Amino acid sequence: MTETEKDILVIVIGFPLFAVGFWLWFNAAKNMWGLLHNYKPNRDWGRYIPFSIFLPSFFTDQGNVHRKAMLKYSGLFIVFVGTPFLIAGIWELLS
């Protein structure tokens, strides 16, 4: 396979994955915004503790909906953005 064919293949695989990754990041940010505005009144101090996003007792019911969606979109973002780098690394190891 020539270098030009490799470059075209990287663009064909990488660009859609990065585009979906950007969309996932936008959705994660949107849900994070909703999450930050739905803490329980007596647990409002939890917004200053980073790991509180993993504890559902800090949030109202609507906040937990945003929390689950934000964690899902964040995980998918990591997968979709990391996949092109993983493919490129494996490709280099095999060549």
Q: Which residues pair with 59 in a beta bridge?
A: 39
pLDDT means over runs of 10, the chain (95 residues): 76 86 95 92 88 92 95 94 85 80
Ordered by start, the domain boundaries in the chain are: 3-94
- The residue among 92, 68, 70, 62 whose CA lies nearest residue 25 is 70
Q: What is the per-residue pLDDT for 56?
A: 93
Q: What is the pLDDT of residue 15?
A: 86
Q: What is the pLDDT of residue 1?
A: 67
> Is residue 49 helix, strand or coil?
coil
